[in-house]
Structure 1
Amino acid sequence: MAINIVDYELPYDTHNVYDVSFYNDRVHTMVTSNSAMVESWLSNVTPANPNHRIVGLDVEWRPNNRYHNNPIATLQLCTGPNYPGSLQIPAGTVLPGVCLDPNCLIFQILHSEWIPHSLSTFLANPAFTFVGVGIESDCEKLLLDYRLRVANVVDLRGLAADRLGVWELRNFGLKRLASAVLGKELEKPKSVTLSRWDNQWLTYAQIQYAAVDAFISYEIARQLNLRGA
């Protein structure tokens, strides 16, 4: 799998920014536990922008054991570029304040001091469609752990099965869906899947894993033309 990460090494305690590349796609990614930075990220996501109406959603938490049912540690959201989808922007164009790549937020919600009201409003806005694999159970855990309700969700397994006419896709995980729909191999090493997502500082491997999962969910929905449904 072609994947790499570029660390912007910002001199802030509030957040850091990375570019995570997956094959030919580059995902601009912010990692933060700071609620004000989450509000800032969400301020650029509007239902009027067709690139933003589909949102890849995923969550991670420290693996449970017989004694502990651990809460969600990170919430990942991924949208399309932050320019209006109707614009035709030539390759290589640089526009101040505009990101031409998909945008991902990795919110370390377990370490946040408070949950932004704007996040609750965003997740509850039916103008956005939140997509993922097994997304209903993820959203149930978000509601249980943090009282965050997600209004409009679509499971990619059923969407892919309906769009492609292949019933077996209803039983696929994200890795197999990425191969079937996008023709791209997605590695999901257990050493990362079962890692300490509750750590205050995420590793590069965790950041790549989290960003790519959210991006792949967004991209599968986009390729299946969910927006045109």
Structure 2
Amino acid sequence: MGYTEVKFIELNGLEIKTTLTDEEKSIDDHISSFFTPTDDYGTKVIGFDVEWPVEYKDSTDYLFKRANFQLCDGNSCLIICLPFSSDVVPKSLHNFLRMPNYTFVGIGIKDNLAFLEKEHGIVFRNAVELGPLAASLMKMPHLRYCGVDELAFEVCKLDLRKYRPSRLAFNWGKYYINKELVKHATVNVYSYHKIGSALLRPAPVPQMPCY
């Protein structure tokens, strides 16, 4: 039996709708909501993160990992409880992650990308690690090693630390994830979206003088 729950998380004066689901229709519907063009016609930035809460060994002693897959476009977030089998990952998710005009951004994503491909057959067309990108574009080498809160402040002057739950038991292995854990995930992927959007925003086109 499938599971879908919607929570509303207040962040930075906004109410972010976060959907937690393992149902294909809910995943399809939410991904469709991400298909809105950007105002500046640049790449659309999606914050991305993943947690690996559950391990499972099959009869051959092969170790599988089930992922909680998180996406955010700045208006809403989607947390997908992926199945153990890559055969039942929704086609809409596979297609979305391969779209050429979308860039998925996060922190510490290199290993996540490798695991997602190995365990679930999920491949990204455009995925960017935020620390090195910020360090390069802003010419501040130390940003390569910063966490999400430091990057959000340096890049966006955005401080979301007060929205993080002060006490949090990290147990993503529970099927029904509590609101505090959902809030923590939402803060992270929303921050990734804001940082990535600021860094990847197209440069303004200079105005040519009229004679």
The reply to whether residue 121 of structure 1 matches residue 109 of structure 2 is no
Residues 1:25 and 1:159: Cα distance change in structure 2 (over 3 Å):
farther
User: CA shift at 1:131, angstroms?
Assistant: 0.3
Consecutive unaligned residues in structure 2, runs of 5 or more: 56-60, 204-211
Q: Which has the higher strand share?
A: 2
Q: Is the 8 A contact 1:124 1:152 kept in 2?
A: yes
Query: Aligned to 1:53, which of 33, 44, 66?
Result: 44
| Structure 1 stretch displaced more, 180-189 or 200-209 | 180-189
TM-score of the superposed pair, with normalisation by structure 1: 0.73
- Structure having the higher Rg: 2
Q: Which amino acid aligns with 1:49?
A: P
RMSD: 2.8
Report the equivalent of 1:86: none
Distance 1:126 1:202 in 2: 32
1:75 counterpart SS class: strand
Report the equivalent of 1:22: 11
Alignment length, in residue pairs?
A: 191
1:201 counterpart SS class: coil
The reply to whether residue 75 of structure 1 matches residue 69 of structure 2 is yes
Q: Is the 8 A contact 1:53 1:227 kept in 2?
A: no
Query: Aligned to 1:211, which of 183, 186, 195?
Result: 186
Q: Is the 8 A contact 1:15 1:30 kept in 2?
A: yes
| Structure 1 stretch displaced more, 28-37 or 48-57 | 48-57
Instruction: Render the CA deviation track for 1:43-74: whole Å, top value 9, x for unaligned.
Output: 2222x61178111000012288xx99661431
Q: Is the 8 A contact 2:66 2:84 kept in 1?
A: no
Consecutive unaligned residues in structure 1, runs of 5 or more: 1-12, 81-101
Q: Matches of residues 150-161 of structure 1 in structure 2 within 5 Å?
A: 150-161=124-135
TM-score of the superposed pair, with normalisation by structure 2: 0.79
The reply to whether residue 106 of structure 1 matches residue 106 of structure 2 is no
